[in-house]
């Protein structure tokens, strides 16, 4: 008897054996519902000789394999639930739903018999964003950690994974130097140099004067912009150079001055001819603003300047017809005219008055910096540093600064360390302390330290109370600091952070510029934020009938009647746009510099929306004739040829149709109906066989995969919330998070609340 | 920020406008930590080693000459090195076997860059990081001789890593973002910003007097003692992984202490003409020049003897508008034999080389002791893939520029037996740095003929 016959015989015996037992049960067991399909259908491709997708399912014919090959079974289950297997043209066996249910039931049953495992999070250092936000909330100092520290490595798609975040000597050096600087800035002890000046003039449009430090970029008729490094916190005199006038009829405009997108100063400006100057009219407005240390982008311009925008091209920079910003000068630093709030907050009493005050100051700082209550011995260690500084002849304030520096390089500040009573006992599952829970919450939702309210509740032991916890999460989600969740989780889940590293070809895409890029980023951030704050269902990520636009982006989308540079909610009137898969940010980060990529976009959807990432391609894949696309052949025809190769078809029949659905958007997300001379064909089907014609019903079709989409997002969010990769024992928690949020209509907040209450978020255990 | 002579026209203008403004302070960029040039004169100059790594392989057709032995006409990509070919040693057939697929599936880019200097197997994971080698060869050298210079080693790079998503087929981004590994789990991130490099080399606190600097050093010592005490008492009750994290921090703290000791002994001033860069230029050539010119100073002043330069990272899709190429580097390398696509890869390879060669040109003009600075350098320029289209890990493109203190006889191309471990080069280079070890990574011995014709 050869192997095949043996297998058949075995199957028949199994089936006979099983049928005698199932009559008495409603739920068919593994042997009848699962094993036969595995044997007859799955192992055709997934066997020891040809482990398609890396899976040899001959290992999974026995029930014991549910325990011994758990990871493989999870994969099988995921593919079945996604409707991807068996792939077309193979027919789906009729017993497939029963099989899927049986596997789920068996895995659940197994899980019920083992003790739940919350897993364990390694001591995690703050990443750059967390460091910056924590310094902001602790001391009120704006410290640009992203520019001062080396890049954080990421894993699992996120930059907050404990096991991937390490400390190099370079980073430690930076921690020390930055701690000295930050503490001096917080206390206002940085010695200021004499004021110096720096200035920039526009690269387009003339004016009377020239900047000494380089060119300012013109970002519109009435705007110039320049990146500039401020070396010291302090007050600076800003000189706004404005060229030209708009004649005697010229109406006043509002001049604004912005730093990193935030308006710092505005005043009304006349545009009529000046009385004192006869030719080359030029006006310099001066005003004083406080600027924080760091590299910033400064913008000078006229708000809602319709007259400027309507100026014909040949008169835009004609000083007899138009008035426009031309020059930005910085003169400073000067000492602040009033004491900073950072300093007031630290110096709650006069540290030169004696030890009692020094202790008061330091114990308060340490509690917040360490995010827990501090022992008297810890405060004593800090007080000794103050004494040490005073022994050097330094003032009491400098003593506080020395102790504050030490706080900021202490491992209790830099790391989030959670304690176990039995660190070497993996069976010793326990809830994290209230203080640890407060930090888990705040770094999850705010990417920052817990505030006083959280610390106070933790100190009283009340945070673990479910009702108190819910109230806190609600409060935190409404807090402005929750913007960090949209920024960091949203930006990494949707990969819009990569907008800075994609570099669309300026020749093929002349509309691409910095402003457009930032507008794209803002749209998606605000969109995410509105789903978060409005507690909307996550299906709106795919099908929302609104978005957030300013004039530039609206024009790019072909949407009228959105005026000005401010973003606002816009109800969408056509099916061209709706949801993240129609947003230019996402469409751009999933393209190459010169063209779209159905593969990159298809992979993006499988990975980030459907949670079913395809395997990586082999090297030396047959090439795609990019130059020919749109000329001699459509991209689609080419991809179909590519897929004629069976080795490619396995994955590409699943990936490509998803990408083709978005072919109406070019490589920077602009709507198009042809590619070169060929019309675009967007029809296709999902991996489960659901058919669609174009981008809008594609998006609708994706929402029919709801449990799957919710599960995918849950997994990503749980990785982000925990700062660790997921393990098979997390499956139970994921299942229950998804199940429980279904009842709440799969809203984004429902997922967050469920994660906060989940076992891995609430508990930990010792190490194996 | 640098205040330059450009001030004058501005002030003239302002006077004309009737605006009164105080004279700007001309603050010279005096380094906080002076350079010890004197300390290396009067004795044998030390040998310094640097790796320059370019990603995504090289167009080998235009890299390998048809001959071995004395270098004649150089192939197209290496052409920019033609004037300096007496200082160039080309090595052929060196292979990194551990970077191959073996049983780990796709992810050649992730593997080859993490494996390049470690010679070890890289754990395929996206959840954590682990290189099965105690440390990379540059860090091994640094751990032995690093105490002789203020910085045990220096890591630089030019490309901001990808910010989200996956880096390569299940390999954590740490593998492609770093070349140097201080331990199995501790990569050494490169400095990308020229300003940050300037501050690391020459000190950030330029406005302190010598007395204040000494006081700062004393206070720093107390602060670091405080940190060590709290770290040690914290670590007592932790599990092994958490303790390892804190150990990494302690190790890093100790390296700061060593630097502070060294800095206290240094007394010579910074070479004139060095200006603190304002930030990172967008132009590749400018960025490359800023970084390498600072490395030149670091070599001259003996601030460090081990440098790794991750020019750009594996899998990068950086376009090269500087030379009219709008397509991303990585997608281009999967040209599948298409000539015009390959031609653009060749151009990128050439462009990288020409930037390197013009630095070599600047180095070649510098004296050291009775000879040239270049006589005491070993600049290894290469890639972790040969054919980037097919992800090949054999015959890795490798040139060594410099004479290694007389321990190299350049001007030649040596072609080794096929499958000669790249780690053998590491062994041979470590010998020349005064660090002799039995074996490294998958080494099978030392490379022969590097110093004999």
Which of A54, A191, A491 is nearest residue B164 as measured by Cβ atoms?
Answer: A491
* Inter-CA distances, B426 with B15, B177, B438, B444, Å: 63, 21, 11, 11
- For B228-277, the pLDDT digits (tens) are 999 999 998 899 999 999 999 999 999 899 888 877 766 445 566 677 88
Supply angle C-alpha A631, A635, A637, rounded to 5: 100
Residues A106 and A212 in one domain: no
- Domain count of chain A? 2
User: Residue A471 domain-assigned?
Assistant: no
Name every chain A residue with its beta carbon within 8 A of the beta carbon of B167: 154
| Chain A CB contacts of B216 below 8 Å | 180
DSSP for A747-767, please give it.
BHHHHHHHHHHSHHHHEE---
pLDDT value at residue B12: 31
DSSP B248-262: HHHHHHHHHHHHHHH
Q: Which of A108-117, A580-589, B190-199 has the lowest mean pLDDT?
A: A108-117
pLDDT tens across B338-359, in order?
Answer: 899 999 999 999 999 999 999 9
User: Is the CB of residue B30 less than 8 Å away from at least one CB of chain A?
Assistant: no
Q: Which of A150, A620, A766 sits opposite B191 (nearest CB)?
A: A150
Query: Is A521 a domain residue?
Result: no
Which pLDDT value is given to residue B24?
28
Q: Are residues A203 and A100 in the same domain?
A: no
pLDDT score recorded for residue A619: 62
Q: What's the pLDDT score for residue A648?
A: 74
| DSSP bridge pairs for B191 | B156
For A137-188, write each residue's pLDDT tens digit: 999 999 999 989 999 999 899 999 999 999 999 999 999 999 999 999 999 9
Look at residue A214 and tell me whether its pLDDT is greater than 80.
yes
Residue listed under structure tokens 């990808």: B162
| Cβ proximity of B422 and B392 under 8 Å | no
Quickly tell me which residue has 């997608």 as its tokens: B331
Using the Cβ of B168 and the Cβ atoms of chain A, whether some distance falls under 8 Å is answered with yes
Q: What is the pLDDT of residues B42-91, one digit of tens each?
A: 468 999 999 999 999 999 999 999 999 999 999 999 999 999 999 999 99
Q: Work out the minimum CA distance from B357 to partner chain A, whole angstroms.
A: 27
Residue B221 touches chain A, beta carbons under 8 Å: no
Specify whether A208 is located in the same domain as A307.
yes
| Class for the domain spanning B47-192+280-432 | alpha beta
Nearest chain B Cα distance for residue A597, angstroms? 11
Range among A114-118, A139-143, A191-195 rated most confident? A139-143
What is the pLDDT confidence band of residue B202, given thresholds at 50, 70 and 90?
Answer: confident
What are the tens digits of pLDDT across the range B370-427? 899 999 999 999 999 999 998 999 999 999 999 999 999 999 999 999 999 999 999 9
Cα separation, A563 vs A306, whole angstroms:
9
- Asked if residue A33 is part of any domain, the answer here is yes
Q: Which of A113, A140, A174 is the last residue of a domain?
A: A113
For residue B406, the 8-state DSSP code is G
User: Which 323-382 residues of chain B touch chain A by CB within 8 A?
Assistant: 326-328, 331, 334-338, 340-341
Q: In A692-722, which positions are buried (b, 16+ CB within 10 angstroms) versus exposed (e)?
A: bebbbbbbbbbbebbebbbbbbbbbbbbbbb
Separation in Å, CA of A504 to nearest CA in chain B: 8
Inspect the interface and report whether the beta carbons of A622 and B336 lie closer than 8 Å: yes
Contact A328, A297 (CB under 8 A): no
Nearest beta carbon to residue B219 from set A389, A414, A497: A389
Nearest 5°: the CA angle A109, A731, B164 is: 170
Query: Which positions in chain A touch B255 (Cβ < 8 Å)?
Result: 169, 172
CB contact under 8 A, B17 and A284: yes
Residues of chain A found within 8 Å of residue B318, distances taken between Cβ atoms: 503
Contact of B170 with chain A, judged by CB distance below 8 Å, is answered with yes
Cβ–Cβ gap A417/B182 under 8 Å:
no
Query: Residue A536: left (phi > 0), alpha (psi -120 to 50), or beta?
Result: beta
ipTM exceeding the 0.90 mark = no
Sign of CA dihedral B116, B121, B125, B128: negative
Q: Tell me the whole-structure pTM to 2 decimals.
A: 0.87
CA–CA distance, A489 with A493 (Å, rounded to integer): 6
Q: What CATH code is carried by the domain that includes residue A257? A: 2.60.120.260
CB < 8 Å from A in window 244-273 of B = 245-246, 248-249, 251-253, 255-256, 259
The residue to which tokens 């004393």 are assigned: B218
pLDDT digits (tens, 9 = 90+) for A316-366: 998 889 999 999 999 999 999 888 999 999 999 999 999 999 999 999 999
Percentage with pLDDT > 90 across chain A: 67
Comparing CB atoms, the residue among B128, B170, B189 nearest residue A168 is B189
Q: How confident is the model at residue A564 (pLDDT cuts 50, 70, 90)?
A: confident
pLDDT > 90 fraction of chain B, expressed in percent and rounded = 63
Instruction: Assess whether A106 and A206 both reside in one domain.
Output: no
B20–chain A Cβ distance below 8 A for any pair: no
Q: Which residues, other chains included, contact B430 with Cβ-Cβ below 8 Å and sequence gap of 6+?
A: B137, B140, B141, B436, B437, B440
Identify all chain A residues contacting B238, using CB atoms and an 8 Å cutoff.
Answer: 123, 417, 419, 423
Cα–Cα separations (whole angstroms), residue A632 to A213, A527, A666, B308, B338: 50, 39, 19, 46, 16
CA distance A708 to A81: 8
- The whole-angstrom separation of Cα A681 and Cα A731 is 39
What are the start and end residues of each CATH 3.40.720 domain in chain B?
A: 47-192+280-432
Q: Which residues of B touch A210 (CB under 8 A)?
A: 9-10
pLDDT digits (tens, 9 = 90+) for A47-104: 887 777 778 888 888 888 888 888 889 888 888 888 888 877 778 888 888 999 899 8
The pLDDT value recorded for residue B39 is: 40
Q: How near does any CA of chain A get to the CA of B418, in Å?
A: 22
Structural domain that includes position A24: 3-113
Question: What's the mean pLDDT in A420-437?
Answer: 95
What pLDDT, on the 0 to 100 scale, is given for residue B270? 59
Cα(A152)–Cα(A163) distance, rounded to whole angstroms?
Answer: 12
Taken as a whole, chain B contains a residue count of: 453
Asked whether the beta carbons of residue B7 and residue A411 sit closer than 8 angstroms, the reply is: no
Could you tell me which of A719, A758, A715 has the C-alpha nearest to residue A736?
Answer: A758
Integer Cα distance of B277 and B301 in angstroms:
19
SS3 assignment for A236-297? EEEEEEEECCCCCCCCCEEEEEEECCEEEEEEEECCCCCCCCCCCCEEEEEEEEEECCEEEE
A408 domain-assigned: no
Tens of pLDDT, residue by residue over A634-658, are: 777 777 777 777 767 777 888 899 9
Asked if A409 and B227 come within 8 Å (Cβ–Cβ), the reply is yes
Q: What is the largest CA-CA distance in chain B?
A: 78
Average pLDDT over all residues of chain B = 86
pLDDT at B10: 32
Domain boundary among A65, A82, A113: A113
| Residues 187-206 of chain B whose Cβ lies under 8 A from any Cβ of chain A | 187-193, 196, 199-200, 204-205
Q: Do residues A260 and A355 make contact, with C-beta atoms less than 8 angstroms apart? A: no
Q: How many CB atoms lie within 10 A of CB A72?
A: 18
* Buried residues in A58-70 as b, exposed as e (16+ CB within 10 A): bbbbeeebbeebb
Domain end position, chosen among A286, A302, A334? A334
- Mean pLDDT computed over A508-537: 96
Closest Cα in chain A, distance from residue B382 (Å):
21
Residues of chain B with C-beta less than 8 angstroms from the C-beta of A728: none
Nearest to B126, CA basis, from A54, A707, A73, A616: A616
Instruction: Inform me whether the pLDDT recorded for A405 exceeds 60.
Output: yes
Domain check: are A108 and A200 in the same one?
no
């Amino acid at each position: 008897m050869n192997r095949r016959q043996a297998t058949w015989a075995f199957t028949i015996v199994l089936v006979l054996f099983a049928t005698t037992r199932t009559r008495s049960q409603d739920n068919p067991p593994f042997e009848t519902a699962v094993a036969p399909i595995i044997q007859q259908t799955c192992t055709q491709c997934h066997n020891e000789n040809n482990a398609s997708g890396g899976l040899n399912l001959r290992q999974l014919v026995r029930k014991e394999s549910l325990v011994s090959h758990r990871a493989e079974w999870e994969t099988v289950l995921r593919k079945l639930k996604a409707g991807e297997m068996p792939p077309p043209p193979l027919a789906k066996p009729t017993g497939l739903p029963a099989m899927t249910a049986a596997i789920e039931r068996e895995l659940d049953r197994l899980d019920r018999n083992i003790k739940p495992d919350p897993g364990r999070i390694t001591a995690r250092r703050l990443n750059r964003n967390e460091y910056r936000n924590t310094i902001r909330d602790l001391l009120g100092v704006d410290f640009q950690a992203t520019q001062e520290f080396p890049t954080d490595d990421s894993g699992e798609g996120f930059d907050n994974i404990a096991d991937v975040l390490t400390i190099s000597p370079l980073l430690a050096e930076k921690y020390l130097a930055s701690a000295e600087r930050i503490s001096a800035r917080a206390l206002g002890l940085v010695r200021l140099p004499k004021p110096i000046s720096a200035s920039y003039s526009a690269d387009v449009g003339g004016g009377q004067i020239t900047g000494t430090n380089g060119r300012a970029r013109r970002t519109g008729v009435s705007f110039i912009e320049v990146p500039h490094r401020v070396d010291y916190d302090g007050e600076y005199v800003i000189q706004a150079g404005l060229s030209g006038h708009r004649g005697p009829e010229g109406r006043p405009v509002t001049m604004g001055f912005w730093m990193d997108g935030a308006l710092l100063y505005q005043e009304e400006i006349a545009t009529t001819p000046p009385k004192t100057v006869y030719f080359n009219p030029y006006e310099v407005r001066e005003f004083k603003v406080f600027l924080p240390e760091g590299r910033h982008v400064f913008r000078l311009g006229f708000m809602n300047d319709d007259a400027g925008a309507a100026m014909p091209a040949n008169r835009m920079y004609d000083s007899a017809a138009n008035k426009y910003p031309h020059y930005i000068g910085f003169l400073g630093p000067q000492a602040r005219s009033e004491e900073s709030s950072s300093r007031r907050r630290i110096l709650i009493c006069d540290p030169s008055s004696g030890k009692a005050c020094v202790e008061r100051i330091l114990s308060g700082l340490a509690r917040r910096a360490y995010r827990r209550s501090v022992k008297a011995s810890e405060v004593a260690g800090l007080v000794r540093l103050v004494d040490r500084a005073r022994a050097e002849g330094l003032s009491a304030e400098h003593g506080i600064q020395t102790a504050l520096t030490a706080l900021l390089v202490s491992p209790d500040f830099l790391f989030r360390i959670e304690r176990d009573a039995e660190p070497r006992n993996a069976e010793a599952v326990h809830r994290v302390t209230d203080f640890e829970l407060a930090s888990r919450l705040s770094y999850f939702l705010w990417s920052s330290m817990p505030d006083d309210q959280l610390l106070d509740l933790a100190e009283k032991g009340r945070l673990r109370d479910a009702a108190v916890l819910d109230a806190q999460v609600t409060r935190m989600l409404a807090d402005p600091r929750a913007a960090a969740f949209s920024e960091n989780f949203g930006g990494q889940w949707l990969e819009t952070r990569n907008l800075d590293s994609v570099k669309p070809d300026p020749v093929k895409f002349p509309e691409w510029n910095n402003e457009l890029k930032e507008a794209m980023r803002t749209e998606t951030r605000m969109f995410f934020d509105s789903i978060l704050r409005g507690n909307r269902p996550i299906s709106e990520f795919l099908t929302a009938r609104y978005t957030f636009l300013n004039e530039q982006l609206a024009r790019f989308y072909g949407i009228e009647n959105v005026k000005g540079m401010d973003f606002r909610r816009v109800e969408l009137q056509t099916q061209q746009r709706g949801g993240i898969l129609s947003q230019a940010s996402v469409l751009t980060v999933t393209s190459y510099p010169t063209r779209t990529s159905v593969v990159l976009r298809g992979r993006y959807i499988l990975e980030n929306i459907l949670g079913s990432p395809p395997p990586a391609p082999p090297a030396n894949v047959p090439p795609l004739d990019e130059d020919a696309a749109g000329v001699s052949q459509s991209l689609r025809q080419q991809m179909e040829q590519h897929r004629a190769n069976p080795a490619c078809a396995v994955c590409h029949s699943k990936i490509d149709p998803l990408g083709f659905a978005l072919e109406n958007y070019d490589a920077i997300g602009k709507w198009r109906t042809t590619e070169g001379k060929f019309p675009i064909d967007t029809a296709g089907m999902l991996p489960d066989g659901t058919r669609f014609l174009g981008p809008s019903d594609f998006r609708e079709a994706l929402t029919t995969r709801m449990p799957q989409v919710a599960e995918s997002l849950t997994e990503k969010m749980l990785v982000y919330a925990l700062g660790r990769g997921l393990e098979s024992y997390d499956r139970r928690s994921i299942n229950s998070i998804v199940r429980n949020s279904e009842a709440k209509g799969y809203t984004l907040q429902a997922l967050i609340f469920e994660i906060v209450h989940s076992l891995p978020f609430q508990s930990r255990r010792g190490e194996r | 920020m640098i205040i330059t002579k450009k001030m004058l026209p501005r002030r003239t203008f302002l006077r004309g406008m009737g605006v009164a403004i105080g004279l700007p302070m001309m603050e010279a960029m005096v380094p906080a930590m002076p350079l010890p040039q004197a300390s290396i004169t009067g004795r044998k100059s030390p040998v310094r080693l640097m790796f320059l790594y370019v990603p995504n392989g090289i167009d080998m057709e235009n890299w390998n000459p048809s001959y071995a032995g004395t270098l004649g006409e150089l192939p197209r990509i290496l052409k920019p090195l033609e004037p300096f070919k007496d200082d160039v040693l080309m090595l052929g057939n060196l292979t990194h076997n551990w970077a191959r697929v073996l049983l780990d599936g796709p992810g050649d880019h992730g593997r080859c860059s993490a494996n390049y200097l470690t010679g070890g197997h890289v754990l395929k994971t996206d959840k954590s990081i682990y290189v099965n080698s105690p440390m990379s060869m540059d860090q091994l050298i640094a751990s032995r001789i690093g105490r002789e210079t203020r910085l045990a080693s220096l890591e630089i790079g030019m490309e901001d890593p990808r910010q989200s998503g996956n880096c390569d087929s299940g390999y954590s981004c740490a593998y492609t973002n770093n070349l140097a590994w201080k331990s199995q789990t501790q990569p050494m991130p490169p400095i990308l910003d020229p300003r940050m490099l300037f501050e690391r080399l020459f000190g950030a606190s330029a406005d302190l007097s010598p007395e204040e600097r000494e006081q700062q050093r004393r206070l720093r010592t107390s602060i670091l003692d405080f940190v060590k005490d709290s770290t040690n008492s914290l670590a007592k009750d932790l599990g092994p992984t958490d303790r390892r994290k804190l150990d990494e921090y302690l190790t890093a703290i100790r390296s700061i202490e060593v630097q502070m000791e060294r800095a206290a002994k240094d007394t010579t001033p910074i070479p004139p003409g060095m200006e603190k860069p304002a930030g990172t230029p967008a132009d590749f050539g400018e960025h490359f020049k800023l970084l390498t010119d600072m490395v030149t100073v670091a070599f001259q002043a003996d601030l460090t003897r081990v440098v790794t330069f991750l020019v750009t990272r594996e899998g990068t899709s950086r376009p090269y508008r500087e030379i009219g190429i709008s397509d991303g580097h990585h997608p281009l390398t999967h040209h599948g034999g298409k000539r015009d696509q390959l031609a653009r890869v060749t151009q990128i390879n050439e462009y990288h080389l020409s930037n390197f060669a013009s630095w070599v040109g600047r180095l070649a003009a510098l004296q050291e002791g009775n000879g040239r600075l270049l006589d005491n350098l070993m600049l290894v320029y290469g890639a972790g893939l040969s054919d980037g289209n097919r992800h090949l890990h054999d015959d890795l493109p490798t040139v060594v520029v410099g004479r290694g203190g007389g321990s190299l006889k350049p001007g030649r191309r040596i072609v080794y037996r096929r499958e000669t471990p790249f780690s053998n080069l590491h062994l041979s280079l470590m010998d020349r740095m005064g660090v002799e070890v039995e074996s490294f990574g998958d080494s099978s011995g030392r490379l022969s003929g590097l110093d004999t014709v």
